[in-house]
Amino acid sequence: MNTKGLGRYIRFAVCLTIAVVLRPGAQAASAHQKTDKGQASFAIDASQYVGSDTCKTCHEDIYKNFEATPHWKTTLKQHAGAAQGCESCHGPGKAHVEGGGDKSKIFTFAGADEGEVSKRCLSCHEYGEERSNFERSEHSSNGVSCVACHSPHHAREAQGLLVQKQPELCYSCHTEVKQDFARPFRHRVDQGLVQCTDCHNQHGGFLTKLLRSTAAQDQVCFKCHADKAGPFAFEHEPVKTEGCVACHSPHGSTNPRLLKRAQINLLCLECHTLTQDSGTPAIPTFHNQSQKYSACTLCHTTIHGSNFDAYFMK
């Protein structure tokens, strides 16, 4: 493509983008078009919508709960158009009403396909760094939809409309994690000081284990344990290359410093052993493990990194 052709192509692309952005009701229409099976299979026909007041005549208790939640905002003028209030999520209700309350004539979240449920919620909630990665998250790919944790009508937790409080909500699936926090040394999740969502973004992200990162894009651990972040003049390489979990079991441990092994020496020796394959220096001969019963970190106190000593002794 010559220069003239390229310029014409760019102008066309820019005009097309502007046209899409400025198209009246672009956001609202796109949101509702994709909510039905994820495809634009129904056009918005204002005559198919009955309004929330009609819904209220039969579902007064649900409407009362709905009225107390942030979702009530969908009835405000900014959502003017066909779909407002209840029908913002459930779709047009005219057929449902005319069918005498026939559940098959309206979208109900209970029993619906998990992907479809999440798509309906994400049509409004997918913007922002918190939830924009939900569709690629482990939760989504394992069939955990929004309503597995959130209940727009029957939430027990006003914040986030959660069906249960943290950490019990997370424990309801992640039972193996619950026992980690019952270990002698653990992060204080059960006490409420730390929440699961402080370290994990349950809606998905770019790291494994749905982990968050700090503002500086470091590991989330450094948000609280700032003194371990460095950079140091003498780095302990695993902190930077493998991360904190190379040595620590962050949920809980039998070791006082949440280490993976109960005895510190054994953990250190897993790397610091003379092998042909590893560049890790082996322990010197004067560290006779049959005589030394103290932890390596008794002397190597600044094991995460030091500005003063290459052997992390101060």
Partner 1 sequence: MTNLSDKNTQCESRRGLRLALAQPWLAMLALVPMLLGSAFAQRDAVEGVDDGNYHYQGSFELGYRAVNTHGSHAIYDTFVNQQQGPRLLDETLNMRSLDHQGGLFDTLFLSSFGWGGDPENAARLRMSKNKWYDFNTTFRRDRNFFDYNNLANPLNPANPYIQVNNSPHKFETVRRMYDYNLILMPQSPVRLRLGFTRNNMEGPAFSTVHQGTDAGLFQNTRTLLDGYQFGVDFKALPRTNISYDQFLQYYKGDSSWNDQNFPFQLANGTPVDPGISYNIPAGQPCAAPVLDATTTPPTMNPACNGYQSYNRWAPIRRSN
Residue 43 within binding range of partner 1, rule CB under 8 A? no
First-to-last C-alpha distance (Å) of the chain? 63
Which residue in the set 3, 104, 110, 293 belongs to the binding site for partner 1 (CB under 8 A)?
293
Q: How many whole angstroms separate alpha carbon 93 and alpha carbon 105? A: 8
Cα angle value 151/207/249 (rounded, 5°) = 90
Q: Which of 126, 235 has the CB closer to partner 1? A: 126
Which residue in the set 76, 80, 182, 262 belongs to the binding site for partner 1 (CB under 8 A)?
76
Q: CB-based contacts of 101: which residues, under 8 Å, 6+ apart?
A: 58
Q: How many whole angstroms separate alpha carbon 22 and alpha carbon 186? A: 52
Identify the helix (H) or strand (E) that includes residue 198. Answer: helix 196-199
Taking the CA atoms of 180, 185, 191 and 193 in sequence, report the sign of the dihedral they define.
negative
Question: In terms of Cα–Cα distance, which of 76, 98, 100 is closest to 28?
Answer: 76
Residue 237 within binding range of partner 1, rule CB under 8 A? no
Q: Which of 282, 298 has the CB closer to partner 1? A: 298
Which residue is listed with tokens 């396909």? 113
Q: How many whole angstroms separate alpha carbon 278 and alpha carbon 241? A: 15
Q: Would you call 136 helix, strand, or coil by DSSP?
A: helix
Residue 30 within binding range of partner 1, rule CB under 8 A? yes
Q: Which of 5, 293 has the CB closer to partner 1? A: 293
How many of the chain's residues bind partner 1 (CB under 8 A)?
47
Q: Which of 78, 141 has the CB closer to partner 1? A: 78
Which range binds partner 1 by CB under 8 A, 53-61, 90-98, 144-152, 288-296?
288-296
Residue 215 within binding range of partner 1, rule CB under 8 A? yes
Residue 206 within binding range of partner 1, rule CB under 8 A? no
Q: Which of 45, 309 has the CB closer to partner 1? A: 309
Residue 269 within binding range of partner 1, rule CB under 8 A? no
Distance from chain centroid for Cα 298:
38
Residue 229 within binding range of partner 1, rule CB under 8 A? yes
DSSP-derived letter for residue 284 is: P
Closest contact distance (angstroms) between CB of 199 and partner 1 is 14
Does residue 154 contact residue 65 with C-beta atoms inside 8 Å?
yes
> Which residues contribute to the site for partner 1 (CB under 8 A)?
17, 20-21, 26-27, 30, 68, 70, 72-73, 76, 78, 126-129, 132, 158-159, 184-185, 188, 191-193, 215-216, 223-224, 226-227, 229, 231, 256, 291, 293-295, 297-301, 307-308, 313-314
